[in-house]
Amino acid sequence: MAMSDVFQNGEKVVLCGANAYEEKYYFNEKFKGIPQSIQDELHIICVLFTAEVGGIFTIVFEPDGTLAFETDAAEDDLLYDEISSGLLVGEIKKNRQELLESLSLYYRVFILHEDVSALLEEE
């Protein structure tokens, strides 16, 4: 499957996520070109998030290539901490800003096939 097959009609594309209910981690194999050290860091972020907050946490690419964090919880999950969820998302965005910007750039270049020189001039 070609990398261009990852992009689906303007929909979000899941990069990775963790599920506290099933105690599972998911990494989208379509992004296996991302260096292993970054894949490992994403794994740690997702698993620690669900260990602390509960529920389901996913990191997705928006159609324009920006990264977004999505959290969800079962309706009957009384232990899910929505306030901590928001605080932790803010902390990740602040502390991992360079990583997130690099992943967004990766997506825009290798998936959306945007011009690298134009992207670098934006920054």
pTM score, two decimals?
Answer: 0.85
The DSSP bridge partners found for residue 26 are 17
Encode pLDDT of 54-100 as tens digits.
999 999 999 989 999 999 999 998 888 888 999 999 999 999 999 99
Judged by DSSP in three states, 61 sits in strand
**CB distance 48 to 84 below 8 Å:** no
Structure tokens at 122: 């934006």
Q: Report the C-alpha gap between 39 and 44 in whole angstroms.
A: 9
Domains in the chain: how many in total?
1
CB contact set of 3 (below 8 Å; sequence gap of 6+): 30, 33, 110, 111
Domain of residue 107 covers 3-122
Helix (H) or strand (E) holding 67: strand 67-72
The pLDDT of residue 71: 94
